[in-house]
Chains A and B, each alone.
Chain A
């Protein structure tokens, strides 16, 4: 994608930096995939590519078809229709060759009740031919080092989740699939996982994840696909999606200057609530124009905030409802 326009300074702290150029080599190609469970069509005509070294997110409400899509790509489910290639392999035909090279964290999984954390990690590390990641280090990174000897059934929800992430990374995979990677984690653990995922990408690996958290998608993903009722309704970088569907920006400021209302009205539509003004406009230039106007008229402000739409708003606009409904 191109660099952000001039008025974008204010966006910087909010949206993650986007890779300067779109990755050229797709690692995953999904074309026209359909999957039904009996009469229920869970996924219909889904197509997307994931580039090498990308963090790609699937977002959508419960039952949208995220997990089904992901499991087809992982080779755990056989799609009814469509073609999928991952690392040049067919997930149905070459499933074992594919499993060697990918790491999978399933949304809902359990292990044997009385397997210890250490045993799980060492079993998993023996299932793969390729050189492995350092299991001990992974456990440390995921805050599970002191749980090595604990039985699976005694772990908390978040600890189980972290163990599954460790297992997904044990074979140092080229592509990592994380289904609801931070569900059930506390904010601190969530941030640690985000760091870990960014670390995976910085080593040139590709990550595909699903999430319900728009903040997570915005912070982590290079590109996201929004899925609803089994179809992809739009796809792009979070910044692109926001720009495309929610170009409106607003500035909220407080001032005692009586001339403010009239001056700002020349920039964009203004709403006034006592000393508080909300300026509604569109495009990245709005903030610059407001600042320019304020300095031109010598208006002193006691508060100044920009309100930017996010993926949450994009979702609302595209589907007519919030992701949580």
Chain B
């Protein structure tokens, strides 16, 4: 059933890293950003009146992970639409490869690259974020996986409907960036007017942010069951929708 999955995944990773800016854009820049933000946060910690408790310490890892996840999804949307436009998807379909295998391979590529970026980031950011001592790395990784998985499924819906590769990136950005803006990532949602808070309840990214920030701070999973349920629901719904509307050419 999934014959060829690893071959294809591995090959796609190699091909991706050959792209100009491939490795730099996905791995180096986020890590640098993380370290820089870490320095700022550390400096603020030194001046206690500026440090709003643990908000920044919990906020920065969530911020960076969300940005990575969203950019991974945007790049997935772009790759899928380029492959469709170029007839690569069609050529791959004229083999015993299952369509699901092709799509899973692309999701795996993004997940693996995200994981690699996160791992390097954790290693590089140790100094600023006290990883290992009080941060549940495993729980956070799990939260990140769930988050990425559900944002990827949103990406697939976008990839199913964008008309051409040229529109893929902008359309994806127009949909995802506003969602990102009111997700509680940059400022707490409770400062928003009531109606916007109500609207944010329909924003899948808000649940991702809540889950990521919570797990980083060491919350129990039981405190975030609602977030988990929402993300699973989003994943199921988006997968079902894209299975219906996805176009191969």
Residues of A near any B CB (own CB < 8 A): 74, 76, 96, 99-100, 104, 106, 108-115, 119, 123-124, 126-129, 151, 164
22 A-B residue pairs with Cβ-Cβ distance under 8 Å, sorted by A, are: A76-B90, A76-B93, A99-B95, A104-B94, A106-B90, A108-B87, A109-B90, A110-B86, A110-B87, A113-B15, A114-B15, A119-B11, A123-B4, A123-B8, A124-B95, A126-B4, A127-B3, A127-B4, A128-B95, A128-B96, A129-B3, A151-B18
Given contacts A99-B96, A100-B96, A114-B19, contact A123 B7 (CB under 8 A): yes
Q: How far is the CB of A194 from chain B (nearest CB, A)?
A: 23
Assess the A111–B4 pair: CB atoms within 8 A.
no
A-B pairs, top 10 by smallest CB distance, nearest first, are A110-B86, A104-B94, A109-B91, A114-B18, A99-B96, A109-B87, A127-B4, A127-B95, A126-B7, A114-B15
Q: How far is the CB of A76 from chain B (nearest CB, A)?
A: 6
B11: chain A residues within 8 A (beta carbon): 115, 119, 123
Query: Is B88 an interface position by the 8 A CB rule?
Result: yes
Q: B2-25: contact bitstring with A at CB < 8 Å (1 yes, 0 no)?
A: 011001100110110011000000
Q: How far is the CB of B76 from chain A (nearest CB, A)?
A: 15
B4: chain A residues within 8 A (beta carbon): 123, 126-127
Assess the A109–B88 pair: CB atoms within 8 A.
yes
Query: Is B39 an interface position by the 8 A CB rule?
Result: no
Assess the A110–B91 pair: CB atoms within 8 A.
yes
Given contacts A124-B95, A127-B3, A127-B97, contact A111 B18 (CB under 8 A): no
Assess the A96–B96 pair: CB atoms within 8 A.
yes
Query: Is B98 an interface position by the 8 A CB rule?
Result: yes
One of A76, A111, A124, A126 near B88 (C-beta < 8 A): A111
Most chain A CB inside 10 Å of its own CB: which residue of B12, B83, B87, B95: B95
CA–CA, A196 and B48, complex, Å: 78
B98: chain A residues within 8 A (beta carbon): 96
Most chain A CB inside 10 Å of its own CB: which residue of B8, B11, B83, B98: B11
Assess the A99–B94 pair: CB atoms within 8 A.
yes
Q: How far is the CB of A153 from chain B (nearest CB, A)?
A: 10
CA–CA, A151 and B11, complex, Å: 13
CA–CA, A114 and B96, complex, Å: 23
Q: B64-108: contact bitstring with A at CB < 8 Å (1 yes, 0 no)?
A: 000000000000000000010011101101111110000000000
One of B3, B15, B19, B91 near A106 (C-beta < 8 A): B91
CA–CA, A172 and B95, complex, Å: 13
Q: How far is the CB of A155 from chain B (nearest CB, A)?
A: 14
A112: chain B residues within 8 A (beta carbon): 12, 15, 83, 88
CA–CA, A294 and B91, complex, Å: 60
Residues of B near any A CB (own CB < 8 A): 3-4, 7-8, 11-12, 14-15, 18-19, 83, 86-88, 90-91, 93-98
Most chain A CB inside 10 Å of its own CB: which residue of B7, B93, B94: B94
A96: chain B residues within 8 A (beta carbon): 96, 98
CA–CA, A96 and B86, complex, Å: 23
A119: chain B residues within 8 A (beta carbon): 11, 14
CA–CA, A15 and B91, complex, Å: 35
Assess the B87–A106 pair: CB atoms within 8 A.
yes
**Residue of A with least CB distance to B18:** A114
CA–CA, A129 and B86, complex, Å: 27
CA–CA, A164 and B90, complex, Å: 13
Q: How far is the CB of A200 from chain B (nearest CB, A)?
A: 18
**Residue of B with least CB distance to A115:** B15
Q: How far is the CB of B120 from chain A (nearest CB, A)?
A: 23
B91: chain A residues within 8 A (beta carbon): 106, 109-111, 164
Q: How far is the CB of B98 from chain A (nearest CB, A)?
A: 7
CA–CA, A164 and B92, complex, Å: 12
Q: How far is the CB of A156 from chain B (nearest CB, A)?
A: 17
A127: chain B residues within 8 A (beta carbon): 3-4, 7, 95-97
One of B14, B18, B94 near A76 (C-beta < 8 A): B94
B12: chain A residues within 8 A (beta carbon): 112
A128: chain B residues within 8 A (beta carbon): 95-96
One of B7, B88, B94, B96 near A74 (C-beta < 8 A): B94
**Residue of B with least CB distance to A111:** B88
Q: How far is the CB of B80 from chain A (nearest CB, A)?
A: 12
A99: chain B residues within 8 A (beta carbon): 94-96
CA–CA, A100 and B19, complex, Å: 32
